[in-house]
Structure 1
Amino acid sequence: MSDTRRTDAVLLLVALVWGSSYLSAQTATAALPVLLVLLARYALSSLACLGLLAARRSPRRWTRDELRVGVPLGVTQAAVLVVETYGVAHTSAANAGLIISLTIVLTPLLDRAGHPGGLPPVFYAAAGVCVLAVGLLMSGNGFHAPRLGDLLMLGAAVVRAGHVALVGRLTVGRAIRPLHLTTVQTLVGTALFLAPAAHELPTLVRADAATWTQLVYLALFCSVFAFLAQTWAVQRTSASRASLLLGTEPIWAAAVGITLAGEHFTTLTGLGAVMMITGTYWGQSVERAHRSSALPRSEVHPTGNEGDTRCPTTAPTAPTTPTTV
């Protein structure tokens, strides 16, 4: 297998793992309280990150910048996860993966510093397609009051977009090691969820093997593994190629929900799914082209300059990609 195909395969695997995270989170929250699921996921991710740091021969001490950036980003990431995980618990895995991809077009609207002179009108047309898509996805079998889970996922997309924009502002111009930053964030998240979920710990101890399997999968594969694999892959390909491959995440989310959970699309929600994928790809392409043309050539990083914020990890060197649980 050539290096290019190997890198593409890794990026597609990351997108598949992230797309499957919605069904795993939904399954876990059906057996355990949401806050307990988040505590377990953060704690397991923290242990894995600390283990990786201990295994490395490079200096393990955190820098002042890594702590100053990691703590606030850990708080905002935890806020994203609370809204997102409650949303997943009250809607379908397919809808969750599709609606949260709205983050792609919301982030540039909040990150005004990265777009001098404003975004081109065609970007707003792409955003409009995504908004219409959300309406169709929320319609279910017909137009009615939106479901709680869909509204929560919409809120999660807004909060996550703000988090991604904050990642860009706090990490720019700072020498921050991704694994060190990630470890800080996971420790912050663990501390935040420990108190409110502590009284539920006996429930976690009594959880069956299937539930623990979902928790381990969320922590070790959807968070730690996917983060490290993404970081490795984006350093070996272009931002456009990485974004295209990682952008298949909502497609995998829908496929996993339909195949494994027996979910199905009506005509309206199927149309909404197509419109969401089309709108996010279109908006991402327009934003990337606008950003590249607005920056001097020497300032355009070969792997992009947006941070992907997959819970509970953040990779400041990754390109703008869909983000999910």
Structure 2
Amino acid sequence: MRLVSFIPPAGSTARAGVLLGDAIIDLAAAAALISEEAAAAQWDMLSLLRGDHPDATIAAAADIVQAVINVMGGADPSEAPLGEFNWHEGLTIGDTALVIPATQVRLVAPLPQAVSLREFDALADEHTVMMRRAAGYWVGDRNWPAFRFASHTTILGPDEPIELPMTEPLDCGMALGCVIGRAGRDIMPEDADAYIAGYLLVNAWTIRDPLAASLRPRDRATSLGPWLVTPDELEYYRDDDGRLMLELRLRLNGRELARANTALMRWSFAELIAFASRDTMLYPGEVIVSGVATGGCLLDLHGDDGPWLRAGDEVVIECAELGQLRSPVGLGLELE
């Protein structure tokens, strides 16, 4: 499934949904197809991941999707070209639409309220790690996983603008993330995949301050999205070591700056989860970030002197299997 969070027409609160073809199944509205208990549950993404209600889980979301397909007569619109037919018209319970055209809603970050962000440095090659370390920026150890906690209080979604700092340079950061879907502690690598609810694209926005004594970046915000893709959809892309073989691309104003294949991660997500859970609990809604890919930030491409992002720029991270995470850059109010 491709799980999304969206603001419905004339709505103001994010709801959980599933992207199907060119439309979105409103899980809260369509839950009545499977049970009255599910229809009474809270259907936002964090509640779904935590399983706050026994009838509102990822497994229940899959049941709802199948129920909608059954109402349609068994045809799966995700297998047809987008816009080929308006299959979603007329799917209602009373006056409530079960399925809404994607063009009529606003997608927000799949997980608008991340519990935490742990940023590793697993997607940078050893040369890049050494270059970043020599420049004074934080990197993990080259021999085993290490992470830092990034700020999780400013989460942005697809097409949501990132505001420039008033005076300091802003950098982007192409990465892959997984979202924890089960609580666990001291998780073994061979068991860790069962704790992953899904994968999504990550843009780690950082303020570069070459005058700071440590030269460490400061978090500006993190963009997530556009979808949270459940692991079953990506099994075909696993290599023999359990790594996903996904190609990420970074574009600035339409020009490709970098590509990275996640098969080159120095540690798999299972190994990162095992490390992160040593002597501590991981909870649903926590995000494990691969770290910025080699060449996936302007620091890698240009060094400490930039050039950096400017107002009017457009940064796009894309992956054929995970969608397109587009971010306009602009001037405006401070985010902090």
| TM-score, with length taken from structure 2 | 0.27
**Structure having the higher Rg:** 2
